[in-house]
Amino acid sequence: MINKSVLILAGLASGPVLGGVISGFDRILTARFQSRIGPPLLQPFYDVIKLLGKEKVVVNVWQAFCVNAYLTAASIATALFFLRSDLLLILFIQAVGAVFLVVGAFSSTSPYSQAGAHRELLQMLCYEPLLILISVGIYFQTGSFKIESVDAMNQPLLLKLPFLFVVLSFVLTIKLRKSPFDLSTSHHAHQELVKGLLTDYSGPLLALTEIAHWYETVLLLGFCSLFWTTNPIGALLLVGITYLGEIWIDNVSARMNWRWMLGYGWGMGMALSLVNLVWLYAR
Amino acid sequence: MFKKIMTKARMQSPWMLHFDCGSCNGCDIEVLACLTPVYDVERFGIINTGNPMHADIFLVTGTVNHRNQKVLRNLYDQIPDPKVVVAIGACGLTGGIFREAWNVIGGVDKVIPVDVYVPGCPAKPEAIIDGVVLGLEKFRGKAETAESISANDFEEEAPCREK
Ligand code: SF4
């Protein structure tokens, strides 16, 4: 019991702490890629604290509710992940949170917010099936959707599900809002729609969406680490290399349109998943 | 303690909104130059947001005229408190070489309260960064006294503004 509560607390703390540090690293690395020095490591924390202290401007009540729902869902999903719970449950809760973010953006009349929300829905349409397929692959391999059974494996999943890992890194690019898939909202001001989805979230509400995004980052990187559970160094290396790859792709590519994303995402993603699943099945 | 952390965070993370209020684009090029790798203002946590709802620092270049004063005021009102306004260039300060034009009201401070004035035609990127840093100092003052002037307070004081 005590063990469990410690795990839940670790899960809840991981978003605001680990997520923020990861985001700080990301910004420094991105700046270095662009031959700049970049902000200090703690910059994301400064940003969020400042936003929490700004005047609260709420466009409508729905939006405030949706932000809180998004944050709650993202934190619960991360806590459940730390509890090594059911993968499908975690994905479902995370998806509910993401839908709330979109509903919040739809509830404002700003055209930027609306366009961003539409694109976010398309992004979800693209990555949710892929996430489910990855879970199915894990189920085929371990015989259960529980993360505990992944931990019990004596061989890294990556060796059995290499293509599904590629699909996961694809999903990661979309979820972390990296180019070429930062359609709905972006970290860099060089796009045709910069903040899109987040246009009308401001001050404390924007801070909450940022914290929720940190939770999601931790959750998805945790998902990556499932592919190498046999030793922690391997897991860390795998996650680190994947994340570096994401930052690299973000900096070398431009934003694509949603048609390209859906076509490529579904075409490549589903094909790779299918090949991997058939391979597992045939063995 | 809490106040100290908040002030530190505010000083470290000024997100800016840049508005070209009828400038000749000379000053705008210099503002954007601050964001390039040469000056790299992201070192100080400054991000160009392009969205008044997210901004803390309002950089205004160029003269104000009867048309765009509404836009300027609207943008100012949309920035949540606390905020700092930096007027840039001779035009932003007084109307510059356009001050005699029939449609020009004058500097930015004829319409909204300005905290920092950055002179120059065009203002140098170094001067603009200096101005922003000076503006941050005002943040400290503002954060401690929790005082800010709203555009409406200012309305009565502006003698040249046409109703
Ligand atoms: S101050 Fe000079 S450079 Fe700047 S907008 Fe006016 S005329 Fe152009």
Kind of pairing, strands B64-65 and B104-106? antiparallel
Q: DSSP states of B108-121 as a string? A: GGGTS--SEEE--T
Distance of alpha carbon A158 from alpha carbon A225, whole angstroms: 10
Q: What does pTM read for this prediction?
A: 0.88
Residue nearest to atom 6 of ligand 1 (CA): B91
Query: Mean per-residue pLDDT for A230-249?
Result: 90
Tell whether the model's pLDDT for residue A141 goes beyond 90.
no
pLDDT value, residue A74: 92
DSSP state of B80: P
Beta-bridged to residue B85, according to DSSP, are B58
A40 touches chain B (CB under 8 A): yes
Å from CA of B90 to ligand 1 middle:
6
Nearest CB to B9; choose among A39, A50, A57: A50
Cα dist. A163→A261, A273, B147 in Å?
18, 6, 58
Cβ B122 under 6 angstroms from ligand 1 = yes
pLDDT value, residue A189: 65
Residue B52 is encoded by which pair of tokens?
């008044």
* Residue type at B161 in one-letter notation: R
Q: How many CB atoms lie within 10 A of CB B133?
A: 14
B2-32, pLDDT tens digit by residue?
A: 778 888 888 888 888 888 888 888 888 998 8
- Coil, helix or strand at residue B48: strand
Distance of alpha carbon A145 from alpha carbon A137, whole angstroms: 10
A39 Cβ contact list (under 8 Å, min separation 6): A24, A27, A28, A31, B42, B43, B44, B45
Is there a contact between A34 and B50 if contact means CB atoms under 8 Å apart?
Answer: no
Domain chopping of chain A, boundaries? 2-282
Tell whether the model's pLDDT for residue A13 goes beyond 90.
no
Tell whether the model's pLDDT for residue A188 goes beyond 80.
no
Beta-bridged to residue B16, according to DSSP, are B48, B57
| Distinct helix (H) and strand (E) counts, chain B | 6, 7
pLDDT value, residue B150: 38
Tell whether the model's pLDDT for residue A105 goes beyond 50.
yes
Query: Mean per-residue pLDDT for A76-100?
Result: 91
* Residue type at A266 in one-letter notation: W
CB A136 within 8 A of CB A73: no
Nearest CB to B10; choose among A27, A53, A189: A53
Which residues of chain A have a CB within 8 Å of the CB of B8? 46
Which helix (H) or strand (E) is A271 found in, with range?
A: helix A258-282
Region of residue B62 (phi > 0: left; psi between -120 and 50: alpha; otherwise: beta)? left
B115 occurs within a structural domain: yes
Is there a contact between B12 and A43 if contact means CB atoms under 8 Å apart?
Answer: yes
Is there a contact between B13 and A43 if contact means CB atoms under 8 Å apart?
Answer: yes
CB B14 within 8 A of CB B45: yes
Å from CA of A146 to ligand 1 middle:
64
Residue B85 is encoded by which pair of tokens?
């306004």
How large is the ipTM? 0.79
Å from CA of A176 to ligand 1 middle:
40
Tell whether the model's pLDDT for residue B159 goes beyond 70.
no
Q: How confident is the model at residue B161 (pLDDT cuts 50, 70, 90)?
A: very low
Q: What is the CATH number of the domain that holds B93?
A: 3.40.50.12280
A225 Cβ contact list (under 8 Å, min separation 6): A235, A236, A238, A239
pLDDT value, residue B142: 56
Count of structural domains, chain B: 1
Nearest CB to A35; choose among B37, B43, B48: B37
Query: Mean per-residue pLDDT for A91-101?
Result: 92
* Residue type at B124 in one-letter notation: K
Give residue B138's domain range. 18-146
% of chain B at pLDDT higher than 70: 86
B96-145, pLDDT tens digit by residue?
A: 888 888 888 888 888 888 888 888 888 888 888 888 888 888 777 654 43
Tell whether the model's pLDDT for residue B149 goes beyond 50.
no
CB A98 within 8 A of CB A70: yes
Tell whether the model's pLDDT for residue A21 goes beyond 90.
yes
A44-78, pLDDT tens digit by residue?
A: 999 899 888 888 888 888 888 999 999 999 999 99
Q: How many CB atoms lie within 10 A of CB A84?
A: 16
Q: Which of A110-114, A238-242, B138-142 has the highest mean pLDDT?
A: A238-242
CB A101 within 8 A of CB A66: yes
pLDDT value, residue A190: 66
Cβ B29 under 6 angstroms from ligand 1 = no
**Is the dihedral angle over the CA atoms A193, A197, A200, A201 positive or is it negative?**
negative
Å from CA of A250 to ligand 1 middle:
36
The dihedrals phi and psi of A96, each to the nearest 5 degrees, come to: -60, -45
Indicate the angle between helix axes A20-33 and A203-225, nearest 10 degrees.
90
Distance of alpha carbon A35 from alpha carbon A14, whole angstroms: 30
Which residues of chain A have a CB within 8 Å of the CB of B33? none
B24 occurs within a structural domain: yes
